[in-house]
Every structure is written in C-alpha cells, then in structure tokens.
C-alpha cells in the first residue's frame, strides 16, 4: 500500500501554516499601503481565513470550505484595490515571513519552488487595478 503524502504534510502541516501566516500579518500590520485595505480593526480573523485557505489548498483539512464555502478569491478581493504595488508588498511580506520561519521548517527545494510558484501566480491573479 502506498500512502500519499500531501504538500500540506511535506510543508510541516498546521504549525507551518500557522507560523507563516502569523509572521505575514505582522508585516501587513506595519505596512502603510496594505494595512488600510483590511476592513477590520483586528487582523486576527483575516489571519485565520488565509491560514485555513492555504492549508486546504495544499491538501490539509477543508476548514475553509466548511466556514466560507467556495473560495472565489478574485471575487472576494474585488472590493479592495489590488494594484501592482499591493501585489509586490504582499509577496514581500510573505517572503520575509517564509524566510523567518523556514529556519525551523527547512522545506526541501522542490516543495519550496512549488509553494512560491503558486503564491506568485495567485498574487498576480488577484490584481484588479492597473
Ligand atoms: C496580491 C495582493 C493581495 C492583497 C492586497 C490582498 C488583500 C486582501 C484583503 C484586504 C482581504 C480582506 C481581509 C479579510 O477580511 O479576510 C483579503 C482576504 C483574503 N485573501 Fe487576499 N490579498 C492579496 C493576495 C492574496 C493571495 C495571493 C491569496 C491566496 C494565495 C489571498 C487569499 C485571501 C483569502 C483566503 C482571504 C479571505 C477570503 C474570505 O474568505 O473572505 N490573498 N485579501
């Protein structure tokens, strides 16, 4: 019998996504362009939604779907001005967060490339303003 290992497991499971998204939102909280885009004063709920989404996307528990339904992420970003500057900063904070936590998780190069290829494409896809 072969057991399939999901990217979610290869990346380090829930702790990896927890630490990644927590570190990411620390950056967002200090960002003068991104922070005003977030409608809620408390970034905690937004942090939780991104964490659930990413875990589900990579083969982890489907908590996002249970709570939020179909992702339809482009539609959900439509109310916010996502231009190239926002995309660049989003990726910058994600990269800083990743580099910080990867000291502990040490993803293999293939998994790392897989993650970044996705994040860069997804951030591009989310843009809705020239
Ligand atoms: C390109 C720059 C991006 C900006 C400026 C941006 C900004 C935002 C903002 C302002 C929200 C609303 C906060 C909330 O209430 O949850 C949001 C939600 C969210 N974003 Fe982004 N985002 C970006 C890229 C991405 C990418 C690349 C992903 C996925 C890989 C993503 C996944 C999500 C998810 C899952 C939610 C919560 C959706 C929901 O269930 O309501 N975002 N984003």
Which atom of ligand 1 is found nearest the CA of 40? 15
* Domains of the chain: total: 1
**Any idea what the CATH number is for the domain that residue 102 is in?**
1.10.490.10
Quote the domain boundaries for residue 102: 10-125
> pTM for the complete prediction?
0.97
SS3 for 40-70 is CCCCHHHHHHHHHHHHHHCCCCCHHHHHHCC
pLDDT band at 103 (very low <50, low <70, confident <90, very high): very high
Which atom of ligand 1 is found nearest the CA of 123? 27
Q: Whose CA is nearest to atom 26 of ligand 1?
A: 123
Residue 5 within a domain: no
- CB-ligand 1 contact for 76 (6 Å cutoff): yes
State the distance from the centre of ligand 1 to the C-alpha of 90, rounded, in angstroms: 9
Q: For position 4, what pLDDT does the model report?
A: 83
Residue 23 within a domain: yes
pLDDT at 36 over 70: yes
Residue 64 within a domain: yes
Residue 1 within a domain: no
Residue 47 within a domain: yes
Residue 35 within a domain: yes
Residue 3 within a domain: no
pLDDT at 76 over 70: yes
pLDDT (tens digit, 9 = 90+) per residue, 24-34?
999 999 999 99
Q: For position 77, what pLDDT does the model report?
A: 98
Beta-strand runs (E) in the chain = none
State the distance from the centre of ligand 1 to the C-alpha of 59, rounded, in angstroms: 19
Residue 2 within a domain: no
């Amino acid at each position: 019998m072969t057991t399939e290992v999901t990217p979610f497991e290869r990346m380090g499971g829930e702790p990896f996504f927890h630490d990644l998204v927590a570190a990411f939102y620390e950056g967002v909280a200090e960002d003068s362009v991104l922070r005003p885009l977030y409608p809620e004063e408390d970034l905690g709920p937004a942090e939780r939604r991104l964490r659930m989404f990413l875990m589900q996307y990579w083969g982890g528990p489907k908590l996002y779907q249970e709570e939020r339904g179909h992702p339809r992420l482009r539609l959900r970003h439509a109310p916010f001005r996502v231009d190239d500057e926002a995309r660049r900063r989003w990726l910058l904070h994600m990269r800083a967060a990743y580099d910080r936590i990867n000291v502990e998780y040490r993803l293999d190069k293939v998994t790392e490339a897989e993650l970044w290829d996705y994040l860069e494409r997804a951030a591009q896809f989310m843009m809705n303003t020239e």
